A and B are shown apart, each in its own frame.
Chain A
Amino acid sequence: MNNIIFLILRRMRAPLIAVIVSFAVAVVGMTLMPGFDAEGNPHHLTLFEAFYIISYTATTIGFGEVPHPFSTQQRLWMTLSIYMTVIPWFYAIGKIISLFQDVGLRVAVTTSRFAKEVEALSEPFYIVCGYGETGSLLVRALDSKHMRVVVVEILQDRVNELELEDYQYDMPALCADVQLPDVMIKAGVRHPMCAGVAALTNDDHANLAVAIAVKLIRPTLMVLGRAENAETAANMASFGTDHIINPYTLFGEHLAMEVHALGTYLLHEWLTSVPGESLPSPAWPPTGRWVVCGYGRFGKSVVENLEREHITTTIVEADPKLTGCENCIIGSGTESRTLEEAGIRDAVGIVAGTDNDINNLSIVMTAREMNPELFVVIRKNKRYNEPLFEHFNADITMQPSDIIAHECLAHMISPLLAMFLALARNQTNAWANQMISHLVGMVGENVPETWSITIDPHHAPAVDNLLSWGKAVKLDSLTHDPSNRDIGLDLVPLLLLRENKPLLQPELDTKLMHGDQILFCGTPSAKAALPLILSNHKALSYIMDGKEIADGLIWRWMSSKFKH
C-alpha cells in the first residue's frame, strides 16, 4: 500500500508545482494592480483578498468582482490570470483521474489487497492455480466442505466469474500468472496456514513451474500437479511433487475399476463427491470385444487398462503414424464403413475417445444405429457441449475436469481418505459392496461428509485427558450422541492410522491411543456433534458410563462425600 501512495505522490509532482506557481504569480500580480474603492480612492487588494479571488476563478466558480468593481488594470491582470491558473488546475485534476485509471496502479492496488486478504486468513487453506472448468469444480466442492481457498487465475474474465459466484466463504482471488514465484508467495505459499497447492491450469508448463516454485519455497507443502503429458509428469515426479494427476490415466484406471470392481469404483466416486449430491447410478460395462476410436493419450490409457482386464479391443485411428498405433483400422470412426470394418455389429462396447466432441458424438450415434445394444463410453472435452451429451445419454461420459477435481478432493479432504481409497482398491468387490450398503444404511443415499480426527491434546483434549488418567476409551464412545447415549451418531469409522499403520474399517471396540488418526464418514449432523465429544470430557464420560459427572467445587465435594 505504501508503494502506491509514493507512486501517486511522485507522479503528482509536476501538476502540483504548476498549480502552486501559477497561483503564486496570479495572486501577487493581483495585489499589485491599482484599483479604486467605492468612494473612488486608490485601493490595492490585500494578499488574502487576491488569493480568494484567484481561488474561485481558477476553479471556474467565479463570484464576480469583490470587494469593489475592478479597475481596467485589474481586469487586464485577471484575464491573464484566468488562462494562467485554470489550465494548470485542469491539468492537475486530469492527472489525478488518469492516475486512478492507470492499469499499473490498479494492478498494484488489487494485488496488495489480495496479499492482505491472504495474510489475514487464520484457517487452513488451499491455493488453487487456475480457475477453469477443473478449478471451478474443485473450488465449489472445497467451499461446500467448509475449506478455505485462495485462487490465482490468469484470465480476468474468470476472476470476474468467481466474484459473481455465490460461495459461502470469502475467496481471495488474483488475476496473475502463476509462473511468477512472487505471485505464489503473495498467494500464501509461505503462510503458516497454507495446507497445499493445486496446480490445475490447462498449461502443463505452468503447472510444472508452480510445482517447482512451491517445492523450493516450502518443500513440506503438499503439491497436486495436473500433467497431461508423460514428460511433464516424469519431470514433476523427479523433484517430489506429492500427487501427479493425469486425467487420461485416471480415467483408464477408473474404467478398469468399473469393469472388474464396480463396488470399489462407486465407493471411490461417492466419498470424493460434493456433499449433498445424490449417489451416481452405477453402470455395468460388459466384458467382450470393445471398439476404441481414437488412440491418443485417452485411448491408450483405456486400451491398456481394458486389456489388463482381459478384454480384447479393436482400435480405430485416423493417424496411426502420429499416435504410434500398430495393428489398427484406419479412419476416424465417424462413418459407418470404418465401424463396419472394426466389427461393430458383434462388439459389446464402444469408446469414443477423440479430442473433438462433435466427432465423438457422431461416432457413437452411428455406432448405436448399427448396434443398439452397444455399451457407450464417450469422452467429453468441453463443458459447453454438456447439453448435447445429456441428450445422447451415454452409459459413461468421461470429463477430464470432473476426474481431476475428484482426485484432488480425495487428497485435500484428508490424507487419510487417499490412503483409504488406495487400500480399498486392493479389496475385493464384495468387500466394497458390503461397505457401501453399510454406509447407505447409516447415512442414506446422499453423498456423506468425510473428515478425519487426531487424538492429541490439541484436537481431542477430552479423549487425551481420559487416556492420560489411565482410562480406556473405545472407538465406540465416539459414535454416540452426546445428549442421549442410547442414540448412535450416523457415522462410520473408515480407517484408523496408528504409528503409520493403517487399519481398514476398525472395530468399534478398538481402544484408542495417543496419536491415533481416524477417518470418519457420516452425516453433517454427526460431524457437527463429534467436536463436543472430543473436547468436553463430561460429554465423553457420560457416553462411556451413562453418568453425568458432577462438576464445580461443591458438587465434587458432595459426590465424594456420598460415595464414601
Chain B
Amino acid sequence: MNLEKVIFGFFIVLAMTLNFGFFIGDIDNPAHHHVYELYAAIIVNLIATVLKFGDRTQIGAVHLATSLVADLQLITAAVLFAAVSGTPSELTMINHVVSLSGGALLANIISVILLMAETISLRR
C-alpha cells in the first residue's frame, strides 16, 4: 500500500462526495444547501487539484483538467453565493449557485471514474 495513493484517492473521492452533498436537495430552497458544505467542497477540490500537479501522463493531464473545471465552477458558485446572500434575490439566485455546483459535480464524477479506471488497469 502506498500512502501517497491513499491520500490522492481520499481527496478526489471526498471532493466528489462533498460536492454531491451540497448539490442534493431542492434546487430553489436555500435551506437545503449549506454554505459550509460548499466551502469544504472548494477547499478539498483545490487540494485535489494541487495533488494532480506535475503528472506528465495522458491520464494525469485529463485528471488535472477535470479538477480545474470543478474548481472553476465551484468558485463561480461561491462568488455568486457571497454576492447574493442576505439580499432579497437570494431565493432566485440560489438556483444558479446549485446548478453551477451540479456542473462541478459532473467534473468530479469524471475524475473519480478516471481514478477507478487507473486502479483497475493496474494489475498488481
Q: Does A9 reach chain B (CB closer than 8 Å)? A: yes
Q: A46-B82, A47-B82, A48-B82 are in contact. Are A20 and B35 (CB under 8 A)?
A: no
Q: Does A21 reach chain B (CB closer than 8 Å)? A: yes
Closest Cβ–Cβ distance, residue B110 to chain A (whole Å):
21
Closest Cβ–Cβ distance, residue B16 to chain A (whole Å):
18
| Complex Cα gap A47–B53 (Å) | 27
Residues of B contacting A3 in the complex (Cβ-Cβ under 8 angstroms): 56
Q: Is the CB of B47 within 8 A of A21?
A: yes
Q: Is the CB of B50 within 8 A of A6?
A: no
Q: Is the CB of A24 within 8 A of B43?
A: yes
Q: Does A547 reach chain B (CB closer than 8 Å)? A: no
Q: Is the CB of A9 within 8 A of B53?
A: yes
Residues facing A in B42-65 (CB within 8 A) are 43, 46-47, 50-51, 53-56
Q: Is the CB of B47 within 8 A of A13?
A: no
Partner of B50, one of A20, A24, A27: A20
Q: A46-B82, A48-B82 are in contact. Are A17 and B51 (CB under 8 A)?
A: yes
Residues of A contacting B55 in the complex (Cβ-Cβ under 8 angstroms): 6
Across chains A and B, which 4 residue pairs bring their CB atoms closest together, nearest first? Answer: A10-B54, A48-B82, A9-B53, A24-B43
Q: Does A28 reach chain B (CB closer than 8 Å)? A: yes
Residues of A contacting B54 in the complex (Cβ-Cβ under 8 angstroms): 6-7, 9-11, 13
Q: Is the CB of B50 within 8 A of A16?
A: yes
Chain A interface helix/strand/loop/mixed: helix
Q: Is the CB of B35 within 8 A of A47?
A: yes
What is the interface of chain B, defined by CB distance below 8 A to chain A? 35-36, 39, 43, 46-47, 50-51, 53-56, 81-82, 85-86
- List 28 A–B pairs whose Cβ atoms lie within 8 Å, in order of A's numbering: A3-B56, A6-B54, A6-B56, A7-B54, A10-B54, A12-B50, A13-B50, A13-B51, A13-B53, A13-B54, A16-B53, A17-B47, A17-B50, A17-B51, A20-B43, A20-B46, A20-B50, A21-B43, A28-B36, A28-B39, A46-B35, A46-B82, A46-B85, A46-B86, A47-B35, A47-B82, A48-B82, A48-B85
Chain A residue, CB-CB nearest to B83: A48
| Complex Cα gap A9–B86 (Å) | 39
| Complex Cα gap A23–B55 (Å) | 25
Closest Cβ–Cβ distance, residue B120 to chain A (whole Å):
26
| Complex Cα gap A11–B50 (Å) | 10
Q: Which of A9, A12, A27 lies at the interface centre, i.e. has the most chain B CB atoms within 10 A of its CB?
A: A9
Residues of A contacting B81 in the complex (Cβ-Cβ under 8 angstroms): 48
Q: A12-B53, A13-B53, A47-B36 are in contact. Are A20 and B82 (CB under 8 A)?
A: no
| Complex Cα gap A47–B51 (Å) | 25
Closest Cβ–Cβ distance, residue B37 to chain A (whole Å):
11
Chain B residue, CB-CB nearest to A24: B43
Q: Is the CB of A10 within 8 A of B85?
A: no
Residues facing B in A1-43 (CB within 8 A) are 3, 6-7, 9-13, 16-17, 20-21, 24, 27-28
Q: Is the CB of A47 within 8 A of B50?
A: no
0/1 per residue, A229-258, Cβ < 8 Å to B? Answer: 000000000000000000000000000000
Closest Cβ–Cβ distance, residue B12 to chain A (whole Å):
14
Closest Cβ–Cβ distance, residue A278 to chain B (whole Å):
59
Residues of B contacting A7 in the complex (Cβ-Cβ under 8 angstroms): 54
Partner of B39, one of A9, A13, A17, A47: A47
> Beyond the given A17-B51, A27-B39, could you list 8 further A-B residue pairs with CB under 8 A, ordered by the A residue number?
A6-B55, A11-B54, A12-B50, A13-B50, A24-B39, A46-B85, A47-B35, A47-B82
Residues of A contacting B86 in the complex (Cβ-Cβ under 8 angstroms): 46
Residues of B contacting A46 in the complex (Cβ-Cβ under 8 angstroms): 35, 82, 85-86
Closest Cβ–Cβ distance, residue B111 to chain A (whole Å):
17
Closest Cβ–Cβ distance, residue B114 to chain A (whole Å):
18
Q: A10-B54, A48-B82 are in contact. Are A20 and B47 (CB under 8 A)?
A: yes
Residues of B contacting A11 in the complex (Cβ-Cβ under 8 angstroms): 54
Closest Cβ–Cβ distance, residue B77 to chain A (whole Å):
12
| Complex Cα gap A7–B43 (Å) | 24
Chain A residue, CB-CB nearest to B82: A48
| Complex Cα gap A320–B28 (Å) | 103
Residues of B contacting A16 in the complex (Cβ-Cβ under 8 angstroms): 50, 53
| Complex Cα gap A16–B54 (Å) | 13
| Complex Cα gap A16–B81 (Å) | 25
Closest Cβ–Cβ distance, residue A2 to chain B (whole Å):
8
| Complex Cα gap A465–B56 (Å) | 55
Closest Cβ–Cβ distance, residue A18 to chain B (whole Å):
10
Residues of B contacting A10 in the complex (Cβ-Cβ under 8 angstroms): 53-54
Q: Which of A13, A27, A28, A47 lies at the interface centre, i.e. has the most chain B CB atoms within 10 A of its CB?
A: A47
Chain B residue, CB-CB nearest to A23: B43
Residues of B contacting A20 in the complex (Cβ-Cβ under 8 angstroms): 43, 46-47, 50
| Complex Cα gap A3–B82 (Å) | 38
Residues facing B in A271-301 (CB within 8 A) are none
Closest Cβ–Cβ distance, residue A533 to chain B (whole Å):
56
Residues of B contacting A27 in the complex (Cβ-Cβ under 8 angstroms): 39
Residues of A contacting B56 in the complex (Cβ-Cβ under 8 angstroms): 3, 6
Closest Cβ–Cβ distance, residue B59 to chain A (whole Å):
14
Chain B residue, CB-CB nearest to A50: B39
| Complex Cα gap A28–B53 (Å) | 26
0/1 per residue, A328-353, Cβ < 8 Å to B? Answer: 00000000000000000000000000
Residues facing B in A354-402 (CB within 8 A) are none
Chain B residue, CB-CB nearest to A2: B56
Chain A residue, CB-CB nearest to B42: A24
| Complex Cα gap A27–B82 (Å) | 14
Closest Cβ–Cβ distance, residue A54 to chain B (whole Å):
12
